[in-house]
Amino acid sequence: MRYFTNSKTNDTAGSGKNSLRNTGMPEFFYSAGIYRHRIAGRLFMEAVWMAAEDLSRMQNISRSIYAPIAERHGTTVSTVSKNIRDVRDTIMKHGGADLLEAMTGSRHWHAEKPYPCELIEVFARYVRKNRFPYHFP
């Protein structure tokens, strides 16, 4: 399991005494309307972690991210894709354009809904930039 160090806690997630709740990571996802108790939220988080670990996976998201997730969860790539689209729709319904603007500094998110791969990349780059600890939910 790999981690980004968290400059706020100088600790890593999964170390026993620290958890994602203590590092602020769930709150980041919660603020976007993404919850671990929902399968779509877990799949989205897993996609973000995979992309954050290696951004080159974004070049072929279906093969490099969706397929491994589908295999781990015993489902299909199309089901993973649908769940991630559902997460995107939830985010955009609840102030997602403002959130994405804050994350990227660009207002273009207000004009059109992002593709799921764009959303995953924005979150992955944000995770990397802020050095959040990561692991698969």
Q: What is the mean pLDDT of residues 1-30?
A: 41
Q: Is the pLDDT of residue 23 over 70?
A: no
- Other Cβ atoms within 10 Å of 74 Cβ, number: 7
37-129 in CATH: which number? 1.10.10.10
Average pLDDT along the chain: 78
Q: Residues 32-62: pLDDT tens digits? A: 767 666 788 889 989 998 999 999 999 999 9
> What pLDDT shows up at residue 7?
36
pLDDT of amino acid 34:
73
Helix orientation angle between 96-104 and 77-93, rounded to the nearest 10 degrees: 90
Domain boundary assignment for the chain: 37-129
Rounded mean pLDDT of 114-133?
87
Longest dimension (CA), the chain: 43
Structure tokens that stand for 12 in this block: 């890593």
pTM (2 decimals)?
A: 0.76
